[in-house]
Amino acid sequence: MSAQIIDGKKIAAKIRQDLTLKIKQLQKDHNLTPGLAVVIIGEDPASQVYVRNKRNACEETGIKSVGYDLPESTSQKDLLELINKLNEDDDIDGILVQFPVPDHIDTETVIEAIRPDKDVDGFHPYNIGRLAVRMPALRSCTPYGVMKLLESTGETFHGKEALIVGASNHVGRPMALELLLAGCTVSISHRFTRDLEAWVRRSEIIVVAAGKPGLVKGEWIRPGATVIDIGINRTDKGKLVGDVDFESARQNAAWITPVPGGVGPMTVATLMLNTIEAATSRRNIKP
Protein backbone atom coordinates (compact mmCIF):
# COMPACT_ATOMS: atom_id res chain seq x y z
CA MET A 1 0.00 0.00 0.00
CA SER A 2 1.17 3.53 -0.62
CA ALA A 3 -0.46 6.22 1.47
CA GLN A 4 -2.49 9.09 0.12
CA ILE A 5 -0.75 12.39 0.78
CA ILE A 6 -2.61 15.00 2.82
CA ASP A 7 -1.69 18.17 0.95
CA GLY A 8 -1.54 20.85 3.66
CA LYS A 9 -0.33 23.48 1.22
CA LYS A 10 -3.41 23.08 -0.96
CA ILE A 11 -5.87 22.87 1.96
CA ALA A 12 -4.33 25.94 3.62
CA ALA A 13 -4.51 27.90 0.35
CA LYS A 14 -8.23 27.11 0.08
CA ILE A 15 -8.81 28.28 3.68
CA ARG A 16 -6.94 31.53 3.01
CA GLN A 17 -8.96 32.05 -0.19
CA ASP A 18 -12.26 31.61 1.71
CA LEU A 19 -11.03 33.98 4.42
CA THR A 20 -10.17 36.63 1.83
CA LEU A 21 -13.80 36.64 0.69
CA LYS A 22 -15.01 36.68 4.28
CA ILE A 23 -12.88 39.73 5.09
CA LYS A 24 -14.20 41.57 2.02
CA GLN A 25 -17.71 40.86 3.32
CA LEU A 26 -16.82 42.07 6.84
CA GLN A 27 -15.43 45.29 5.35
CA LYS A 28 -18.59 45.80 3.30
CA ASP A 29 -21.15 44.90 5.98
CA HIS A 30 -19.43 46.11 9.14
CA ASN A 31 -16.59 48.40 8.01
CA LEU A 32 -14.31 45.94 9.82
CA THR A 33 -10.72 45.04 8.87
CA PRO A 34 -9.35 42.55 11.42
CA GLY A 35 -6.01 43.65 12.91
CA LEU A 36 -3.19 41.36 14.06
CA ALA A 37 -0.20 42.56 16.09
CA VAL A 38 2.87 40.41 15.40
CA VAL A 39 5.60 40.79 18.02
CA ILE A 40 9.08 39.31 17.58
CA ILE A 41 11.97 39.74 20.00
CA GLY A 42 15.50 39.16 18.74
CA GLU A 43 16.96 37.78 15.53
CA ASP A 44 16.35 34.01 15.64
CA PRO A 45 16.45 33.08 11.90
CA ALA A 46 13.70 30.40 12.06
CA SER A 47 11.40 32.80 13.95
CA GLN A 48 12.09 35.50 11.36
CA VAL A 49 10.93 33.11 8.61
CA TYR A 50 7.77 32.14 10.52
CA VAL A 51 6.91 35.80 11.17
CA ARG A 52 7.49 36.72 7.53
CA ASN A 53 5.14 33.91 6.42
CA LYS A 54 2.48 35.09 8.85
CA ARG A 55 2.75 38.70 7.73
CA ASN A 56 2.56 37.68 4.06
CA ALA A 57 -0.53 35.57 4.75
CA CYS A 58 -2.16 38.57 6.49
CA GLU A 59 -1.46 40.74 3.49
CA GLU A 60 -2.89 38.12 1.12
CA THR A 61 -6.13 37.69 3.08
CA GLY A 62 -6.69 41.37 3.90
CA ILE A 63 -5.92 41.25 7.62
CA LYS A 64 -4.09 44.38 8.78
CA SER A 65 -0.84 43.20 10.39
CA VAL A 66 1.09 45.55 12.63
CA GLY A 67 4.71 44.50 13.22
CA TYR A 68 6.71 45.03 16.42
CA ASP A 69 10.32 43.93 15.85
CA LEU A 70 11.98 44.34 19.23
CA PRO A 71 15.67 43.98 20.05
CA GLU A 72 16.98 40.90 21.92
CA SER A 73 17.69 43.15 24.94
CA THR A 74 13.99 44.08 25.41
CA SER A 75 13.07 43.65 29.08
CA GLN A 76 10.11 41.58 30.21
CA LYS A 77 8.61 44.73 31.75
CA ASP A 78 8.74 46.60 28.41
CA LEU A 79 7.25 43.63 26.58
CA LEU A 80 4.40 43.36 29.09
CA GLU A 81 3.75 47.10 28.73
CA LEU A 82 3.46 46.68 24.95
CA ILE A 83 1.08 43.72 25.40
CA ASN A 84 -1.07 45.80 27.78
CA LYS A 85 -1.22 48.58 25.21
CA LEU A 86 -2.26 46.11 22.50
CA ASN A 87 -4.83 44.55 24.85
CA GLU A 88 -6.50 47.98 25.14
CA ASP A 89 -6.20 48.90 21.45
CA ASP A 90 -9.58 48.48 19.77
CA ASP A 91 -8.01 48.21 16.29
CA ILE A 92 -6.04 45.13 17.36
CA ASP A 93 -8.06 41.90 17.37
CA GLY A 94 -5.23 39.41 17.77
CA ILE A 95 -1.86 39.51 19.50
CA LEU A 96 0.84 37.09 18.44
CA VAL A 97 4.16 36.91 20.25
CA GLN A 98 6.56 34.71 18.32
CA PHE A 99 8.17 32.06 20.55
CA PRO A 100 10.79 31.24 21.71
CA VAL A 101 11.44 34.52 23.51
CA PRO A 102 14.95 35.28 24.91
CA ASP A 103 15.85 33.48 28.17
CA HIS A 104 15.41 36.55 30.38
CA ILE A 105 11.68 36.62 29.48
CA ASP A 106 9.27 34.10 31.03
CA THR A 107 7.11 32.46 28.36
CA GLU A 108 4.14 31.65 30.62
CA THR A 109 4.02 35.22 32.01
CA VAL A 110 3.88 36.57 28.47
CA ILE A 111 1.14 34.13 27.44
CA GLU A 112 -0.96 34.97 30.47
CA ALA A 113 -0.56 38.72 29.86
CA ILE A 114 -2.42 38.49 26.52
CA ARG A 115 -6.18 39.03 26.76
CA PRO A 116 -7.76 35.61 26.18
CA ASP A 117 -10.11 37.02 23.53
CA LYS A 118 -7.08 38.34 21.58
CA ASP A 119 -4.99 35.18 22.12
CA VAL A 120 -5.03 34.08 18.47
CA ASP A 121 -2.27 31.52 19.08
CA GLY A 122 -4.67 29.79 21.48
CA PHE A 123 -1.95 29.31 24.13
CA HIS A 124 -3.61 31.07 27.09
CA PRO A 125 -4.66 28.71 29.92
CA TYR A 126 -8.20 30.12 29.53
CA ASN A 127 -8.40 28.94 25.92
CA ILE A 128 -6.76 25.57 26.65
CA GLY A 129 -9.22 25.16 29.54
CA ARG A 130 -12.19 25.93 27.28
CA LEU A 131 -11.00 23.20 24.93
CA ALA A 132 -10.60 20.80 27.86
CA VAL A 133 -14.25 21.25 28.88
CA ARG A 134 -15.58 20.94 25.33
CA MET A 135 -16.33 24.66 24.96
CA PRO A 136 -13.57 25.71 22.53
CA ALA A 137 -13.04 29.44 21.96
CA LEU A 138 -9.72 30.37 20.30
CA ARG A 139 -8.03 27.05 19.55
CA SER A 140 -4.26 26.43 19.45
CA CYS A 141 -3.27 26.99 15.83
CA THR A 142 -1.22 23.87 15.06
CA PRO A 143 -3.61 21.29 16.60
CA TYR A 144 -6.57 23.14 15.07
CA GLY A 145 -4.84 22.93 11.69
CA VAL A 146 -4.21 19.21 12.19
CA MET A 147 -7.93 18.67 12.85
CA LYS A 148 -8.70 20.37 9.53
CA LEU A 149 -6.21 18.07 7.79
CA LEU A 150 -7.83 15.02 9.38
CA GLU A 151 -11.30 16.27 8.36
CA SER A 152 -10.07 16.67 4.77
CA THR A 153 -9.56 12.90 4.47
CA GLY A 154 -13.30 12.30 4.92
CA GLU A 155 -12.54 9.49 7.39
CA THR A 156 -14.50 9.05 10.61
CA PHE A 157 -12.40 9.48 13.73
CA HIS A 158 -15.00 8.73 16.37
CA GLY A 159 -13.83 5.84 18.56
CA LYS A 160 -10.44 5.49 16.86
CA GLU A 161 -7.27 4.96 18.88
CA ALA A 162 -5.09 8.05 18.57
CA LEU A 163 -1.55 8.54 19.83
CA ILE A 164 0.18 11.89 20.27
CA VAL A 165 3.97 11.71 20.41
CA GLY A 166 5.07 14.81 22.36
CA ALA A 167 3.37 16.57 25.23
CA SER A 168 4.32 20.25 24.99
CA ASN A 169 1.90 22.91 26.22
CA HIS A 170 1.37 24.47 22.82
CA VAL A 171 1.28 21.38 20.58
CA GLY A 172 1.02 17.90 22.16
CA ARG A 173 -1.41 18.68 24.98
CA PRO A 174 -3.96 20.76 23.03
CA MET A 175 -3.65 18.18 20.21
CA ALA A 176 -4.76 15.48 22.65
CA LEU A 177 -7.72 17.64 23.73
CA GLU A 178 -8.74 18.21 20.10
CA LEU A 179 -8.70 14.48 19.34
CA LEU A 180 -10.61 13.74 22.55
CA LEU A 181 -13.21 16.32 21.49
CA ALA A 182 -13.42 14.52 18.13
CA GLY A 183 -14.30 11.29 19.94
CA CYS A 184 -10.97 9.46 19.72
CA THR A 185 -9.52 7.30 22.47
CA VAL A 186 -6.38 9.28 23.13
CA SER A 187 -2.93 8.33 24.46
CA ILE A 188 -0.08 10.78 24.94
CA SER A 189 3.56 9.71 24.84
CA HIS A 190 6.57 11.81 25.84
CA ARG A 191 10.27 11.57 26.57
CA PHE A 192 9.66 9.23 29.56
CA THR A 193 7.42 6.82 27.65
CA ARG A 194 8.69 3.24 27.71
CA ASP A 195 8.34 1.29 24.47
CA LEU A 196 7.13 4.00 22.09
CA GLU A 197 7.11 1.38 19.34
CA ALA A 198 4.32 -0.62 21.03
CA TRP A 199 2.17 2.51 21.42
CA VAL A 200 2.66 3.47 17.78
CA ARG A 201 1.95 -0.08 16.54
CA ARG A 202 -1.51 -0.21 18.10
CA SER A 203 -2.64 3.30 17.06
CA GLU A 204 -4.94 4.17 14.17
CA ILE A 205 -4.06 7.87 14.22
CA ILE A 206 -0.51 8.95 15.06
CA VAL A 207 0.31 12.64 15.49
CA VAL A 208 3.99 13.29 16.07
CA ALA A 209 5.42 16.50 17.57
CA ALA A 210 8.71 15.67 19.26
CA GLY A 211 11.31 17.54 17.22
CA LYS A 212 13.35 14.33 16.73
CA PRO A 213 14.06 13.40 13.08
CA GLY A 214 13.36 9.74 12.31
CA LEU A 215 11.89 9.07 15.77
CA VAL A 216 8.92 7.14 14.39
CA LYS A 217 9.96 4.27 12.12
CA GLY A 218 7.86 3.36 9.12
CA GLU A 219 7.64 -0.33 10.04
CA TRP A 220 5.94 0.62 13.34
CA ILE A 221 2.96 2.11 11.49
CA ARG A 222 -0.16 -0.05 11.59
CA PRO A 223 -1.47 -0.77 8.08
CA GLY A 224 -4.18 1.73 7.20
CA ALA A 225 -3.22 4.26 9.91
CA THR A 226 -3.31 8.03 9.47
CA VAL A 227 0.02 9.71 10.19
CA ILE A 228 0.38 13.43 10.90
CA ASP A 229 3.94 14.70 11.21
CA ILE A 230 4.18 18.07 12.98
CA GLY A 231 7.95 17.93 13.48
CA ILE A 232 10.20 20.34 11.61
CA ASN A 233 13.91 19.54 11.70
CA ARG A 234 16.74 20.78 9.52
CA THR A 235 19.32 18.18 8.52
CA ASP A 236 23.08 18.88 8.23
CA LYS A 237 22.50 19.32 4.50
CA GLY A 238 19.85 21.99 5.15
CA LYS A 239 16.87 19.79 4.18
CA LEU A 240 13.63 20.05 6.18
CA VAL A 241 12.39 16.73 7.58
CA GLY A 242 9.74 15.67 10.07
CA ASP A 243 9.85 13.25 13.00
CA VAL A 244 8.50 10.30 11.00
CA ASP A 245 10.52 8.26 8.53
CA PHE A 246 8.29 9.36 5.65
CA GLU A 247 9.36 6.98 2.87
CA SER A 248 8.90 3.80 4.92
CA ALA A 249 5.81 5.08 6.79
CA ARG A 250 3.94 5.77 3.56
CA GLN A 251 4.20 2.06 2.70
CA ASN A 252 1.94 1.18 5.65
CA ALA A 253 -0.19 4.28 6.24
CA ALA A 254 -3.45 5.06 4.45
CA TRP A 255 -2.94 8.81 4.85
CA ILE A 256 0.21 10.79 5.64
CA THR A 257 1.36 14.42 5.74
CA PRO A 258 4.63 15.44 4.07
CA VAL A 259 7.25 17.73 5.61
CA PRO A 260 7.37 20.42 4.36
CA GLY A 261 3.90 21.11 2.91
CA GLY A 262 1.81 19.31 5.55
CA VAL A 263 1.07 20.85 8.92
CA GLY A 264 3.23 24.00 8.58
CA PRO A 265 0.99 25.93 6.14
CA MET A 266 -2.07 24.98 8.22
CA THR A 267 -0.66 26.66 11.32
CA VAL A 268 -0.57 29.96 9.42
CA ALA A 269 -4.07 29.45 7.94
CA THR A 270 -5.63 28.73 11.36
CA LEU A 271 -3.92 31.83 12.76
CA MET A 272 -5.80 33.86 10.12
CA LEU A 273 -8.98 31.97 10.97
CA ASN A 274 -8.53 32.75 14.67
CA THR A 275 -7.87 36.43 13.98
CA ILE A 276 -11.19 36.73 12.13
CA GLU A 277 -12.93 34.72 14.86
CA ALA A 278 -11.45 37.07 17.50
CA ALA A 279 -12.49 40.17 15.53
CA THR A 280 -16.08 39.03 15.03
CA SER A 281 -16.79 37.45 18.40
CA ARG A 282 -15.41 40.49 20.31
CA ARG A 283 -17.94 42.64 18.42
CA ASN A 284 -20.76 40.10 18.59
CA ILE A 285 -20.82 39.78 14.81
CA LYS A 286 -22.28 36.48 13.67
CA PRO A 287 -19.93 34.81 11.16
Q: Which residues are catalytic?
A: 54, 98, 121
Taking the complex as a whole, the smallest distance from the CB of residue 262 to ligand NAD amounts, in Å, to 7
Residue number with CB closer to ligand NAD (86 or 141):
141
The residue among 215 and 273 lying less far from ligand NAD, judged by its C-beta, is 215
In the complex with ligand NAD, which residue's Cβ is closer, 191 or 286?
Answer: 191
Q: Which residues bind ligand NAD (CB under 6 A)?
A: 142, 165-168, 171-172, 189-191, 193, 196, 209-212, 215, 230-233, 263-264, 267
**Nearer of residues 51 and 196 to ligand NAD, judged by Cβ:** 196
Helix 141-152 × helix 172-181 angle, to 10°: 40
CB of 206 to ligand NAD, least distance (A): 11
Residue 153 corresponds to which amino acid?
A: T
Q: How many CB atoms lie within 10 A of CB 108?
A: 10
Q: Where are the beta strands (DSSP E) in 214-275?
A: 226-229, 233-234, 240-241, 255-256
d(CA 5, CA 62): 30
Q: Is 55 buried (19+), middle (13-18) or exposed (0-12) by CB count in 10 A? A: middle
Strand, helix or coil for residue 68: strand
Q: Which residue from 51, 46, 47, 101 is spatially nearest to 72, judged by alpha carbons? A: 101
- Residue among 94 and 231 whose Cβ is closer to ligand NAD: 231
Strand, helix or coil at 242? Answer: coil
Estimate the share of the chain in helix, then strand, then coil, as percent rounded to the nearest 5: 45, 15, 40
Pair 172, 166: CB distance under 8 Å: yes
Instruction: Identify the three-state secondary structure at position 155.
Output: coil
- Minimum Å gap between C-beta 145 and ligand NAD is 7
- CB of 286 vs ligand NAD, minimal distance in Å: 30
Question: How many whole angstroms separate alpha carbon 130 and alpha carbon 151?
Answer: 21
- Please state the closest distance from residue 210 (CB atom) to ligand NAD, in A: 4
Contact 185, 164 (CB under 8 A): no
Judged by beta carbon, residue 11 or residue 232, the one nearer ligand NAD is 232
Q: How far is the CB of 241 from ligand NAD (least distance, A)?
A: 10
